[in-house]
């Protein structure tokens, strides 16, 4: 539609006995014009005339034809002007004109919405890297385009689909050029049979020179920047952050003084014997200020920064995407616009082996649903910080309404052998991490629900500096620090009112649940509610509430009002010193409750899991119907809850298929 982009169209009728009206908005010529029909039957149509005339004059001044450039708004404006013009020839009382005008506008909106919803003007375009030609029409599989460059220079309309052929590879960067509308997004997807179409952010590198280091040789070539990742026949080589002299087979390092990449290949041969690749483009696909966009069934890989980067946009859907081996993020969604109305769906994606994070959501984002996805082995860059499977963050607790449900977050911050940690412990390798999020109003909290998190370098679930967020019905096991952690590390933004309900956290190296602040200079942690959780069999302590998490304000931290009731913490394999409260460890519930200052209604028994790798409860478990009613209707598996059973599973049943077998981890000597 030339320069025109329809951001939204819709109608709302309102009435209070005297007033009636319709609101609609559109973006004409890259500037939003809002048409407001608001008729006060006691005053008349003066305001309407001024607003409609203003729209008409603005269109004329900019030589924009409303019908040519924006049929939705154009027809509405013309219709309104027509009704007002007819009034001069056929005078009627103001209240009658108001009714006619509102009815006319609603008539136009009704039929235009039907026209748009039928997508009669939508086109499907095909892109084939092998057999396509960019001078083709692109509208059939046999007349396909060839390059992403052709897609980038083309304009699309709502409802259009741009489909890439399965089994093909493009070494280009996709840039979204147009927006869809609500109900008719522009879709980038796949067609044909076979593997997902690949948008590859890397290029091959050659020109290797041998350098002898005595007992072995390394090979080097010059690049324009630190590549952060090097691939040998599609295998991600380990990065050595020390020196070329310490390289072992299958490793590489970067010499910033000489701008060289040094390598010892897996076969200790010249890299000329392999296909060597390094990232050459920042993104696989990027979109800025483009609303109503869908990405489906595309593989984004080996970019310098992110496989998929979406910024300052609303009504986005990402479905069935694979984003792996990207330099920093697999998928990055960001907004620095406080007015952004997000409405984002992330469904069935896989984000693996990315340098820092699998999925990154940041700043002014809300109304997001992330589900049925897998985030594993992210944080592969040993120099990365804030690495995790899912990282959701804002600078000032302005990110809310995000639900993370039914996902798997596993082995983030770990090498592919699943047992060797990457880099140093501290801010690396979390499973699901919310950082400085929540709503000051307490409405529309972020929710972490029904996820399975295991084998991560740090905590399985981290809630840091969050307001009113909810962690419920998750399973966390074999994480190298805590299964679940609630913390405050900020001097200005506290952790308040986090709810931790009905989780099962076991076999974690340090803590089942850790609640704490980073010191007395932090904003503090208060009103955390911990109920109906099973915290047993953790190698350190099952519950650690310290530095404010213990409701004490002192040199260690600030805290108050934190509640711990109806939880099962053993006795089990770790009954001795199983609770840490204010840096003191307790071996009995009675001693802990004295320090806590009241009854905790804890389940002082083994929860009786089915087995060491099946965390369903046996039929005679003491946790069945022993908790408090927190108002939930389904458990981690979506089964209906009929009682107040403690833990993530409501009823004894067979093990879900996504559980992994126990792993023998390389445990770390960690002090805190």
Q: Please give the mean pLDDT across all residues of the chain.
A: 84
What is the pLDDT at residue 91? 60
Following DSSP, what letter does each residue of 540-582 receive, concatenated?
Answer: SEEEEE-TTTTS--BTTB-EE--EEES-B-BSSTT-TT-EEET
Which backbone phi and psi does 188 adopt, to 5 degrees? Answer: -110, 115
What is the spatial distance between Cα 156 and Cα 123, in angstroms, rounded to a whole number? 8
What is the pLDDT at residue 48? 39
Is the pLDDT at 89 greater than 80? The verdict is no
What is the spatial distance between Cα 456 and Cα 376, in angstroms, rounded to a whole number? 9
What is the spatial distance between Cα 513 and Cα 149, in angstroms, rounded to a whole number? 50
What SS3 class is residue 214? coil
Q: Are 513 and 550 in contact (CB under 8 A)?
A: no
Q: Inter-axis angle of helices 71-89 and 94-117, to 10 degrees?
A: 160
Q: Are 381 and 354 in contact (CB under 8 A)?
A: no
pLDDT, tens only, 171-224: 999 999 999 999 999 999 999 999 999 999 999 999 999 999 988 999 999 998
Residues above pLDDT 70, as percent of the chain: 78
What is the spatial distance between Cα 138 and Cα 540, in angstroms, rounded to a whole number? 61
Q: Are 26 and 116 in contact (CB under 8 A)?
A: no
Q: If you search the block for the tokens 């990232």, which residue do you land on?
A: 279
Write down how long the chain is: 672
**Residue 243 burial class via C-beta count within 10 angstroms: exposed 0-12, middle 13-18, buried 19 and up:** exposed
Q: Are 290 and 313 in contact (CB under 8 A)?
A: yes
What is the pLDDT at residue 518? 85
What is the pLDDT at residue 535? 97
Per the DSSP assignment, residues forming a β-bridge with 374 are: 350, 408
Parallel/antiparallel/unpaired status of strands 238-239 and 251-255: parallel
What is the pLDDT at residue 82? 55
Q: Are 494 and 465 in contact (CB under 8 A)?
A: yes
Parallel/antiparallel/unpaired status of strands 470-472 and 499-501: parallel
What is the pLDDT at residue 94? 57
pLDDT, tens only, 518-559: 888 899 999 999 999 999 999 999 999 999 999 999 988 999
Using left for φ > 0, alpha for ψ between -120 and 50, and beta otherwise, residue 527 falls in: left
Is the pLDDT at 67 greater than 80? The verdict is no
What is the spatial distance between Cα 37 and Cα 52, in angstroms, rounded to a whole number? 9
This prediction has a pTM of 0.81
Average pLDDT over residues 107-125: 64
For the chain, counts of helices (H) and of strands (E): 6, 52
In b/e form, how buried is each residue of 102-121, taking b as 16+ CB within 10 angstroms? Answer: bebbeebbeebbeebeeeee
Q: Please, what is the Cα angle at 594 between 589 and 596, to 5 degrees? A: 90
**CA-closest candidate to residue 401, choices 368, 373, 372:** 368
Per the DSSP assignment, residues forming a β-bridge with 162 are: 125, 188
What is the pLDDT at residue 46? 39
For residue 164, the Cα-to-chain-centroid distance in whole angstroms is 24
Largest Cα span, the chain: 101
Q: If you search the block for the tokens 């089915």, which residue do you land on?
A: 610
pLDDT, tens only, 319-377: 999 999 999 999 999 998 877 668 999 999 999 999 999 999 999 888 999 999 999 99
Using left for φ > 0, alpha for ψ between -120 and 50, and beta otherwise, residue 376 falls in: beta
What is the spatial distance between Cα 576 and Cα 35, in angstroms, rounded to a whole number? 70
Q: Using a CB cutoff of 8 Å and minimum separation of 24, what contacts does 33-40 make? A: 33/58, 33/73, 35/73, 35/76, 35/77, 35/80, 37/80, 37/101, 37/102, 37/105, 39/98, 39/101, 39/102
Domain spans, the chain: 14-117, 202-279, 414-425+433-672
Please give the torsion angle defined by the CA atoms of residues 584, 587, 592 and 595, in that order, rounded to the nearest 10 degrees: -40
What is the pLDDT at residue 607? 95
Which backbone phi and psi does 412 adopt, to 5 degrees? Answer: -75, 135
What is the spatial distance between Cα 261 and Cα 222, in angstroms, rounded to a whole number? 6
pLDDT, tens only, 29-62: 333 334 343 333 333 333 433 333 444 433 343 3
In angstroms, how far is the first alpha carbon of the chain from the final one?
60
What is the spatial distance between Cα 211 and Cα 458, in angstroms, rounded to a whole number? 39
Which backbone phi and psi does 116 adopt, to 5 degrees? Answer: -70, -45
Q: pLDDT higher for 23 or 515?
A: 515
């Amino acid at each position: 539609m030339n320069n025109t982009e329809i951001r939204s169209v819709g109608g709302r009728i309102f009435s209070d006995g005297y007033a009636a009206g319709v609101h609609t908005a559109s973006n004409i010529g890259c500037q939003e014009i809002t048409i407001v029909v608001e008729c006060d039957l006691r005053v008349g149509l003066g305001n309407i005339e001024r607003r409609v005339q203003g729209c008409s004059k603005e269109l004329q001044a900019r030589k924009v034809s409303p019908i040519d450039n924006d049929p939705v708004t154009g027809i509405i404006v013309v219709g309104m002007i027509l009704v007002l013009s007819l009034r001069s020839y056929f005078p009627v009382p103001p209240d009658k004109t108001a009714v006619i005008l509102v009815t006319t506008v609603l008539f136009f909106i009704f039929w235009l919405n039907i026209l748009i919803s039928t997508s009669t003007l939508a086109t499907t375009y095909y892109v084939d890297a092998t057999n396509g030609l960019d001078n083709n029409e692109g509208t059939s599989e046999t007349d396909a385009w060839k390059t992403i460059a052709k897609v980038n220079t083309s304009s699309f309309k709502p409802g259009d689909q741009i489909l890439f052929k399965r089994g093909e590879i493009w070494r280009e960067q996709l840039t979204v050029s147009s927006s869809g509308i609500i109900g008719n997004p522009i879709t980038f997807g796949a067609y044909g049979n076979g593997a997902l179409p690949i948008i590859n952010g890397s290029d091959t590198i050659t020109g290797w020179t041998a350098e002898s280091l005595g007992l072995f040789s390394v090979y080097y070539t010059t690049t324009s920047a630190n590549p952060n990742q090097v691939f040998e026949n599609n295998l991600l080589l380990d990065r050595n952050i020390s020196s070329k002299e310490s390289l072992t087979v299958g490793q590489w390092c970067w010499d910033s003084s000489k701008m060289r990449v040094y390598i010892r290949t897996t076969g200790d041969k010249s890299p000329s014997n392999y296909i060597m690749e390094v990232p050459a483009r920042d993104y696989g696909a990027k979109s800025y200020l483009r609303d109503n966009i869908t990405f489906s069934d595309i593989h984004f890989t080996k970019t310098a920064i992110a496989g998929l980067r979406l910024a300052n946009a609303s009504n986005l859907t990402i479905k069935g995407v694979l984003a792996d081996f990207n330099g920093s993020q697999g998928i990055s969604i960001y907004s620095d616009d406080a007015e952004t109305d997000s409405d984002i769906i992330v469904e069935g994606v896989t984000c693996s082996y990315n340098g820092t994070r699998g999925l990154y959501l940041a700043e002014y984002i809300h109304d997001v649903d992330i589900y049925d996805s897998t985030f594993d082995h992210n944080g592969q860059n040993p120099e990365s910080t804030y690495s995790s499977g899912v990282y959701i963050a804002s600078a000032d607790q302005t990110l809310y309404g995000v639900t993370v449900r039914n996902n798997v977050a596993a082995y983030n911050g770990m090498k592919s052998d699943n047992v060797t940690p990457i880099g140093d412990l501290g801010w690396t390798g979390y499973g699901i991490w919310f950082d400085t999020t929540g709503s000051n109003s307490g409405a529309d909290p972020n929710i972490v629900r029904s996820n399975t998190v295991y084998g991560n370098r740090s905590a399985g679930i981290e809630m840091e500096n969050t307001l009113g967020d909810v962690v419920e019905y998750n399973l966390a096991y074999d994480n190298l620090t805590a299964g679940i952690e609630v913390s405050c590390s900020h001097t200005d933004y506290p952790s308040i009112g986090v709810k931790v309900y009905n989780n099962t956290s076991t076999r974690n190296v340090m803590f089942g649940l850790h609640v704490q602040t980073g010191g007395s200079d932090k904003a503090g942690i208060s009103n955390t509610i911990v109920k109906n959780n099973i915290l047993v069999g953790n190698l350190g302590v099952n519950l650690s509430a310290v530095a404010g998490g213990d409701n004490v304000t002192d040199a260690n931290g600030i805290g108050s009002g934190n509640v711990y009731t109806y939880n099962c913490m053993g006795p089990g394999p770790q009954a001795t010193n199983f609770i840490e409260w204010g840096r003191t460890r307790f071996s009995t519930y009675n001693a802990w409750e004295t320090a806590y200052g009241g009854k905790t209604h804890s389940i002082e028994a083994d929860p009786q899991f089915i087995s060491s790798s099946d965390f369903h409860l046996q039929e005679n478990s003491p946790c069945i119907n022993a908790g408090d009613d927190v108002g939930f209707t389904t458990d981690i598996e979506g089964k209906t809850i009929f009682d107040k059973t403690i833990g993530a599973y409501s009823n004894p049943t067979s093990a879900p298929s996504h559980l992994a077998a126990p792993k023998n981890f390389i445990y770390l000597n960690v002090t805190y």
